[in-house]
Chains A and B, each alone.
Chain A
Amino acid sequence: MSDAGSTPAATSDGRTSAMGQFRRLRQGDLGLVPVLIGLLVLVIYFQVRNTVFLSAGNLTNLFIQATIFILLAMAETWLLLLGEIDLSVGYVSALGATFAVILLDQQFHWPWYAAILVAIATTTAIGTLQGFLIIKLRLPSFIVTLAGLLGWEGVLIFSIDRQGTGGTIPVQEKVLYDLVNANLSPLATWIFLMASIAIFCWIIIRHDQSRRSSGLDSVATWITWAKVAALIASGIVLVLIFNTNRGSFTVLHGMPYAIPVDIVMLAGASFILTRTKAGRYIYAIGGNAEAARRAGINVDRYRLLAFILTGVTAGVAGLLYASRLGGISDGVDGGNLVLLAVASAVIGGTSLFGGRGKMVNAVIGGLVIATIYNGMALIDMSAATQFIATAIVLVVAVTMDSLARRGSTVTR
């Protein structure tokens, strides 16, 4: 979606040269191509090992598993773009969800929208507080959020144990429970996904046309139409997956509500990053904070904004997490969650060194992690193997990031 990423290194006559392709590969500008190839390899491997893998039921399950990784990775992406990190995001999102679940309990019985608002307000406030300490006191984000990782886990355990329900609080409210566990009707699934795809295609086509009519270099028309065709095709595939009956005894079909939540969050975050000054400044600060400051940008304000957006995104992620688990427990492994979130973002192609990455990378990376976990479970691999496989994928991804980084400066 970003102009910087989607506009190929076109030569002046508008065609993409082989040298340009090679340079883009070295610069890591090929974007999603390497990780998509990796994802395809994983999918083929698991499908060969177990044909259940590509069944509608399993794929829907995989998407639901991925939504948590995707949202947490998106939360992390705001900070990774600045060259910062948030280690606390797993426990912070769980803490927000904890407050929501407690407030929805019989004892308080808040309406769902108020409880959800409290959850997101909590994570946003925590993000803002941590960001404030990091920016105003010039503390390293690694340490402040490491303290957050420990501290917010403490608050989480304290809040849950105070309820005296044995360390677990179930979600007893329909809307929050249905977020992951209920589905849109097949018709609504068609309408939502096709409308989303249509809007996205319209943006791509209009972007291309306005470049062309302004006399600027643009990609060949067939590339635009190929993109549009690919989008429509993948949209239809998604609809068919979700709308296939995946129940064994009763009819179960339609898209889980969690997927539209992900899509809306992705669209909103991508819009901020690629179409607004705030997004541009986050990239600039991540690339060269001193240059951004000299260009008259209020660097501290936009760094704080990134911490706030991390908090908002983490709040949504926590709600989906609690919905999926059907409750929240004091045994939430927020440490593991945050590491998988960072891994998702980096596997998707977001740089740990700041300044490079997109929101859509978090989606692809989250899908890769979910694929590994889902597939490994299907072929009866142990938890030990799952961890090792994830580690290998992460190291490969970060190696590519590092090589791309070197490639982008070596031509100087």
Chain B
Amino acid sequence: MTTPGPTNGPSTRPGPATAAGPGVDSSSLLSLRGISKHFGAVEALKHVDLDVPAGQVTALIGDNGAGKSTLIKAIAGIYEPSGGEIFWEGRKVSIHTPRAAEELGIATVYQDLALCDNLDIVENMFLGHEKTRTGVLDEIAMELRTKEVLADLSVSTVSSVRQLVGSLSGGQRQAIAVARAVMHESKLVIMDEPTAALGVSQTAQVLDLIKRLAARGIAVIVISHNLTDVFAVADRIAVMYLGNLVSSGPVANYDPASAVDLITTGESSRTAA
């Protein structure tokens, strides 16, 4: 297994990224220590340690079945870990339900986006969190806030926020799903394959959006199979292999060849150029 070279990121820990050190770096927004998850006899996660700093994009890569989805579901409160500890802003927390994750400020954008095509952008943005005034929907307040959030994220491609989501392009839908995730003061946004179904220019738009999230101080975890996208957007990379987190560190420590080695074999003898 590789030992990342000298690190230069401001919030990376010294020493090998996979060391199961008990010390939790207080500069990390989210720290996982020894997280494991069993499904019966199957060990889907084996003592995973991971640090997710604020304001950076962490790409989570690995082959199918490597445990990426299980890991994010443990963070998002969908699976309860069988063992290990989760630290949020340096404080030990347990995330039992999706609602608990939401309350901490963790938002997840799933691959299928979970948007209602028959509702417009404003209605989707506030679905389940509608603003009301004396029991009646406050459409004006919701529309103003939607415009504000979209402008904040520089999502300028939609012509009207009263457009039905069903009429949007894939990239626009992704942007709406992300905007909804960050609207509720989220500190960590987890995105599962955000560019999987998109064309070239729309992929570029979404990658831009991810960078802008990080620039606003939000921590982002991106699952992706597309190494080009990963190297275009990530500040840090974490590689999973058969339930182990085999390597993590600043993106400068990796190149596509070593990343492929890590994904396919769990180790790499190459070093980044």
Contact = CB atoms under 8 A, between A and B. Distances in A.
Interface string A276-287: 110010011011
Interface string B71-84: 00000000000000
Contacts, number: 106
B198 to A, nearest CB: 12
Interface residues of A, number: 38
Contact of B160 (A11, A210, A215, A277): A11
A356 B166 CA distance: 12
Interface in A258-303: 275-277, 280, 283-284, 286-288, 290-292, 294-297
Interface string A388-412: 0000000000000000000011011
A27 B164 contact: yes
A214 B140 contact: yes
A234 to B, nearest CB: 26
B114 A408 contact: no
B136 A12 contact: no
A217 interface: yes
B116 A355 contact: yes
A359 to B, nearest CB: 16
Given A283-B116, A284-B119, A355-B116, A11 B166 contact: no
A210 B127 contact: no
Interface in A210-228: 210-211, 214-217
A9 interface: yes
Nearest to A207: B139
A294 B114 contact: yes
Interface in B117-138: 117-120, 123, 127-130, 132, 135-137
B105 interface: no
Nearest to B116: A287
B167 A12 contact: no
B196 interface: no
A31 to B, nearest CB: 13
Contacts of A295: 114, 127-129
A11 B120 CA distance: 15
Q: Which 4 A-B pairs have the closest CB atoms?
A: A295-B128, A287-B118, A355-B118, A287-B116
Interface of A: 3-4, 7, 9-12, 23, 27, 29, 210-211, 214-217, 275-277, 280, 283-284, 286-288, 290-292, 294-297, 355-356, 408-409, 411-412
Interface of B: 98-99, 110, 112-120, 123, 127-130, 132, 135-137, 139-140, 143-144, 147, 159-160, 162-164, 166-170
